[in-house]
Amino acid sequence: MARISVNVDGTQYVDDVEPRTLLVNYLREHLGKVGTVVGCDTSNCGACTVLMSGRVDHQHNAVKSCSMLAVQADGTTVTTIEGVATKEGLHPVQKAFHEYHALQCGFCTPGMIMSALDLLNETPDPDEAEIREALSGNLCRCTGYHNIIRAVQAAAAAMREQHQDRPDDATSRADFVRTATELAVESEAEPAPSESAPEEVKS
């Protein structure tokens, strides 16, 4: 067993996990973050996408949690789809997906939203080609992508409007996307052990 300490959606967890445990399975089975779904188990569909900060740069980047081990997340901050909304309501990206009907079955939606957030962190005003490129690692078998593209464009416009009164380029990557995880980390939430039981050691 290996001990890891990871901040997920604003709460610090310390757990013992088997070294082979995938991050997606840790999130779902240990922490109950079932909003992060398992699609293909081959890193092709993007349904399991989450945002992860580095130990050094503290910038959130999209990663496919089925392609990472839980031990690789030790010391990082992870945002799942369940950590995107705040007490004030849904994030603009979530609102746009709802308003523009950018989903049908909804299975791919968590990963789509996380990848869209990663794009808007880097590029606050993306064109259609940039959106398509950013979402190229996320598969949807229902919508045909057109409404997804429209939703990301609308979310980008809404987020730029929210930040238009900020001085000196304040739509930088560090400030542009405000998630519940970032707000909780800033408020220095107390570490808490996972409520789930650690995995059994298998011989």
Rounded-to-integer distance, Cα 34 and Cα 30, Å = 10
pLDDT of residue 57: 57
Q: Are 85 and 95 in contact (CB under 8 A)?
A: no
Per-residue pLDDT of the chain (203 residues; tens, 9 = 90+): 999 999 999 999 999 999 999 999 999 999 999 999 998 878 889 999 999 997 655 677 999 999 999 999 999 999 999 999 999 999 999 999 999 999 999 999 999 999 999 999 999 999 999 999 999 999 998 877 999 999 999 999 999 998 875 555 444 444 445 554 555 555 444 455 555 544 443 33
Model pTM score: 0.82
Rounded-to-integer distance, Cα 40 and Cα 138, Å = 11
How wide is the angle at C-alpha 86 spanned by C-alphas 81 and 91, nearest 5°?
65
pLDDT of residue 200: 41
pLDDT of residue 72: 96
Residue type, 126: P
Distant-in-sequence, close-in-space partners of 197: CB < 8 Å, separation ≥ 6: none
Return the exposure string of 134-165: e unless at least 16 CB atoms fall within 10 Å of the residue's CB, then b.
Answer: bbeebbbeebebebbbbbbbbbbeebeeeeee
DSSP-assigned letter for residue 104: S
| 6 membership: H or E segment, kind and range | strand 2-8
- Kindly list the structural domains of the chain, giving each domain's residue range(s) and its CATH number in brackets, ordered by start: 2-83+182-186 (3.10.20.30), 92-179 (1.10.150.120)
Rounded-to-integer distance, Cα 33 and Cα 157, Å = 29
Rounded-to-integer distance, Cα 53 and Cα 40, Å = 24
Rounded-to-integer distance, Cα 43 and Cα 53, Å = 19
Model confidence over 134-174: pLDDT tens digits? Answer: 999 999 988 779 999 999 999 999 999 988 755 554 444 44
